[in-house]
Amino acid sequence: MAGKKRSSSGGEALAAVNDELIASEETLIAKWNELSDERLKEQVGKYRNAIKDLEAKGADKGPTTFEYEEEVEIEGEEGDEGAVETTGEGVQSGEKAQDEAGADASEEADDGLIEGNVDDIDPREWMVPPQCIPVHANVVTYDWSKIYNHTDFDVIMMDPPWQLATANPTRGVSLGYSQLTDQHIADLPLPKLQKNGFLFVWVINAKYQWCLEQFKKWGYEFVDEVVWVKVTNSRRMAKSHGFYLQHAKEVCLVGRRGNPPAGMADKAIGSDIIFAERRGQSQKPTEIYELIEELVPGGKYLEIFARKNNLRDYWVSVGNEVTGTGLPEEDEKAFAQDGVVP
């Protein structure tokens, strides 16, 4: 899914920034590749300063209201899969605007619209749920002893940014996040974070078997799986990209370690199938949180690789995107020094 923004009041601000800030990504990459390391650092510094100046001007003017357009893949007629339709904010795909007595009316139609992406939200307007504990950190380098020395969790859920091995693994899908190696994920101290309870891991097809084997190494028994069937607004399957087949689902493997957590439901609950509308990239359905909270009422919940669109009351949410304001301070320092994030 591609998102486009149009600022209704940002034209003057953009005109004030230097040429590099408004240049295309391709232009900048081509230009910067020709520079020495010293000149590159100088140019990156200027680029960052220009962004800070623009942010400061925006802060003086108060929050900016954006209009945006999105390109959303929807199901076309037979032989026309993957058609792209451009939609506007709050307008369902296929609607026609009509002007009647100065009021806009719309005719509902469609199918595969995602009504906005959480990445379009101004970070200054992003509110953390009052009972949520967000931890803005790189999960690879984070000192987890700050947590496991004080508590452990009844349920842990994570959606790892799996590293894809092939040259063209997603056939056209743009990934909006960095990927981690299997070893990075295997090194997470899950046994120290949980003595008794459940582990929910969202997995891609290529990592299904690896994850089952890793469950054993962490000390978990594979006990179940949850399947999220993605649907459109009209409750049709929302097919997306895939390597051999178009995918319309995601799978979350469930493992158990030790004894059932205290307070666990004494009978089977919910369902292992979730039918829910597709979300923004890596955003999981609210139903999975509700299912976990029904399985272990009043439990202690931890989400690893959390993002700002997944924050929820009564959860500890750890990730480098929980604030929506950029990388954690330690990652910014590493990037400034070495040009990479550990």
Question: Largest Cα–Cα distance in the chain?
Answer: 67
Cβ-based neighbour number of residue 14 at 10 Å: 11
Q: Which two three-digit tokens encode residue 144?
A: 């987890």
User: What pLDDT is recorded for position 25?
Assistant: 65
pLDDT at residue 263, rounded to an integer: 87
**Residue 310: closest CA among 283, 290, 292:** 283
* pLDDT of the residue at 75: 37
* Each residue's pLDDT tens digit, 146-193: 999 999 999 999 999 998 765 444 444 433 446 889 999 999 999 999
Counting residues of the chain whose pLDDT is more than 70, the rounded percentage is 63
Which segment of 13-22, 83-92, 273-282, 283-292 scores lowest on mean pLDDT? 83-92
What does each C-alpha distance from 215 to 7, 190, 249, 261, 299 come to in angstroms? 47, 10, 22, 18, 22
For residue 67, give the 3-state DSSP assignment.
strand
pLDDT at 20: 61
CA-CA distance, 160 to 204, in Å (whole number)? 9
Average pLDDT score over the chain: 74
Element (H, E) at 161: none
Kindly report which listed range (105-114, 284-293, 319-328) carries the lowest average pLDDT score: 105-114
Question: pLDDT of 69-110, one tens digit each?
Answer: 333 333 333 333 333 333 333 333 344 334 433 433 333 344
Read off the pLDDT of residues 125-136 as tens digits, 9 standing for 90 and up: 567 889 999 999
Which pLDDT does position 236 carry in this prediction?
A: 84
Q: How far apart are CA 138 and CA 92, in angstroms?
A: 37
Arithmetic mean of pLDDT, 45-60: 68
- Provide the 3-class DSSP secondary structure of residue 115: coil
Between 27 and 190, whose confidence is greater?
190
The 10s digit of each residue's pLDDT in 223-261 is 999 999 999 888 888 877 778 888 889 999 999 999 999
pLDDT at res. 326: 74
The pTM of this model reads 0.62
pLDDT at position 61 over 70: no
